[in-house]
Amino acid sequence: MPLFAGIDAGSTTAKVVLIDDAGAVVARSIRPGGANLAAAAGAALRDALSAGGAERDDVAGIVATGYGRNAVAEADRTVTEITCHARGIFHLDPTVRGVIDIGGQDSKAIVLDPSGNVVRFEMNDKCAAGTGRFLEVMARTLEVPLEDMGRLALESRDPAVISSTCTVFAESEVVSLAAQGRAVEDILAGLCRAVAVRAAGLAGRARIQPPAVMTGGVARNAAVVAMVAEKLNIPLTVPPEPQFSGALGAALFARDTAVPQPPRVSRAQEISS
């Protein structure tokens, strides 16, 4: 039985999804990007093959997507991350019409039509403020495990106000608030709210409507998800393994080698993605 691989070479991590010819996920893997994203992508592919009990020769097609997609030597072709995220989420739930993705160093808001095609999107890829990297830096500053940030933030009764959207300046604010004796939960709530405000603004510009989902590593932060939903006044769901939607979409395109090219967005959108 042939297998197909999608590699999402993101700005901070490389994700791989391996599927069979029915579209069922056989294995997933993730590796930190580090200084050599191409090497991380190759290592993640080997991890996925090992987890799926497969060999490289079992893979009939590989599509790469994401920030570093053009550096992935193993790929047969590349597809833009906007298109792959849309395909992956639509495969999981064909009723979805909006996707908010907050990754390591960028954020995306994508609107889909009933066929799963990209209608429009907005993307923030010029600054790490309001992304996973922002939260990683703040977790390190406060000496809080990243996976605990959302839970602790939801315990806050008096969220701090983080006025700066710049990671460097916001870190200084966090240090100052901690020195003033503010509860860690309140500082974390303020940080999550700062991320949520930026994500909601992006989604608002894209005119996201329900049913909508949140993906990316930050989707594992329950506080950010809840705050974005509150800002937009719409429900948001989080799919299983939200970091892998782009890699899943890439794997599906790898499987569809006999199908015409993936849903197109405008030339200007392709360039910006």
Using CA atoms, how far residue 146 sits from 127, 133, 169, in Å, is: 20, 11, 20
Single-letter code of the amino acid located at 173: E
* pLDDT above 80: residue 258: no
The whole-number pLDDT of residue 272 equals 42
| Residue of 241, 251, 249, 273 lying closest to 45 (CA atoms) | 251
Q: Distance (Å, rounded) from C-alpha 165 to C-alpha 4?
A: 40
> Would you say the CATH fold of 96-238 matches that of 1-93+243-273?
yes
**Predicted confidence (pLDDT) at residue 257 exceeds the cutoff of 80:** no
Confidence (pLDDT) at 263: 52
pLDDT of 120 = 96
Q: Which amino acid is at 70?
A: N
Cβ-Cβ contacts under 8 Å for 268 (sequence gap 6 or more) = none
* Of 249, 217, 246, 250, nearest in space to 104 by CA: 217
| Percent of the chain with pLDDT strictly greater than 70 | 92
Q: What is the pLDDT of residues 183-213, one digit of tens each?
A: 999 999 999 999 999 999 999 999 999 999 9
d(CA 67, CA 108): 13
CATH class (in words) of the domain with range 96-238: alpha beta
**Pair 188, 179: CB distance under 8 Å:** no
When pLDDT is cut at 50, 70 and 90, the band that residue 260 belongs to is: very low
pLDDT tens for each residue of 123-170: 986 666 678 889 999 999 999 999 999 999 999 999 999 988 788 888
Look at residue 266 in the predicted model and tell me its pLDDT.
Answer: 46
Contact of 109 with 224, CB cutoff 8 Å: no
Looking at domain 1-93+243-273, its CATH architecture is 2-Layer Sandwich (3.30)
pLDDT over threshold 60, residue 64: yes
Strand, coil or helix: what is 45? helix
Q: Please give the Cα distance from 226 to 248 (Å, whole number).
A: 25
Q: Is the pLDDT confidence value at 23 over 70?
A: yes
pLDDT digits (tens, 9 = 90+) for 74-127: 999 999 999 999 999 999 999 999 999 998 888 999 999 999 999 999 998 666
Q: Is the pLDDT of residue 1 over 70?
A: yes
CB 191 within 8 A of CB 175: no
Confidence band for 271, pLDDT divided at 50, 70 and 90: very low
Q: Is pLDDT of 273 > 60?
A: no
Q: CB-based burial of residue 240 (10 Å sphere; 0-12 exposed, 13-18 middle, 19+ buried)? A: exposed
In the predicted structure, residue 30 carries a pLDDT above the cut 60? yes
Task: Annotate 99-117 with DSSP letters as a single string.
Answer: EEEE-SS-EEEEEE-TTS-
DSSP string for 129-167: TTSHHHHHHHHHHHT--GGGHHHHHTT-SSPPP----SH
Domain spans in the chain, listed from the N-terminal domain onward = 1-93+243-273, 96-238
Structural tokens at position 150: 């959302």
Q: Which two tokens stand for residue 167?
A: 């990671």
What's the mean pLDDT when you consider all of the chain? 91
C-beta of residue 236 within 8 angstroms of C-beta of residue 225: yes
Tokens, residue 36: 């050599």
pLDDT confidence of residue 262: 47
C-alpha span between 249 and 63 (Å, rounded) = 9
User: Is the CB of residue 37 less than 8 Å from the CB of residue 46?
Assistant: no
Q: What angle do CA 185, 186, 187 make, to 5 degrees?
A: 95
User: What's the predicted TM-score (pTM) here?
Assistant: 0.90
